[in-house]
Chain A
Amino acid sequence: MEQILKATQLSKYFYQKKALDKVDLSIEKGKIYGILGPNGGGKSTFLKIAAGLLKPSQGEITIDNEKPGTYTKSIVSYLPEINYLYKWMKIKDAVNFFKDLYADFNAEKARESLKFMELEEEEKVTTLSKGMMGRLKLTLALSRKSKVYLLDEPLNGIDPISREKIITSILDSYSEEASILISSHLIYYIEKLLDYVFFLSEGRIILSGDAEELRNKRGMSIDKLFQEVF
Chain B
Amino acid sequence: MMEFNNSIPIYLQIIDSIKQDIVVGKLKAGQKMPSVRELAETLKVNPNTMQRAYQELDREKITFTKRGMGTYLTEEEKTISSLKEEISQKIILDFVEGMNKLGFSNKEMINTLKEYL
**CB within 8 Å of B: which residues of A?**
30-32, 167-168, 171-172, 174, 188, 191-195, 211-213, 215-216, 219-224
Secondary structure call for the A interface:
helix
Residue in chain B with minimal CB distance to A172: B41
What residues on A are CB-neighbors of B48 within 8 Å? Answer: 30-32, 195
Cβ distance A72 to chain B, nearest Cβ, rounded Å: 25
Assuming A168-B41, A172-B41, is B46 touching A195 (CB within 8 A)? Answer: yes
Q: Can you offer 23 A-B residue contacts whose CB atoms are under 8 A?
A: A31-B48, A171-B44, A171-B47, A174-B46, A192-B4, A192-B45, A193-B44, A193-B45, A194-B46, A195-B46, A212-B9, A212-B10, A212-B52, A215-B8, A215-B10, A216-B8, A219-B7, A220-B7, A221-B6, A221-B7, A222-B6, A223-B6, A224-B7
CB-based contact B47/A215 at 8 Å? no
CB-based contact B44/A167 at 8 Å? yes
Cβ distance A151 to chain B, nearest Cβ, rounded Å: 15
CB-based contact B9/A215 at 8 Å? yes
Residue in chain A with minimal CB distance to B6: A221
- Is B11 an interface residue, CB under 8 A from the partner? yes
